[in-house]
Amino acid sequence: MELLRHGVPLTLLFDLIDPSGPRSAELYGQEQAAA
């Protein structure tokens, strides 16, 4: 995963793969809570 080495968040990759996917929304929520 070359992108990850450049600091691209997993949530962004999930959004690109499946913008309406429940996983990306869940991970985004977890990331916001952790920030």
- What local confidence, expressed as pLDDT, does residue 13 receive? 74
Q: What separation in angstroms does the CA of 7 have from each of 1, 3, 28?
A: 11, 7, 15
Q: What is the DSSP letter of 14?
A: H
- How far apart, in whole angstroms, are the C-alpha atoms of residue 34 and residue 15? 19
What's the domain count of the chain?
A: 1
Structure tokens at 4: 């990850």
pTM of this structure: 0.27
- How far apart, in whole angstroms, are the C-alpha atoms of residue 7 and residue 3? 7
Count of Cβ atoms closer than 10 Å to residue 28 Cβ: 16
Which residues does the chain have with pLDDT short of 70? 1-6, 8, 18-25, 27-28, 35
- What local confidence, expressed as pLDDT, does residue 2 receive? 60
Q: Which domain holds residue 12?
A: 2-34
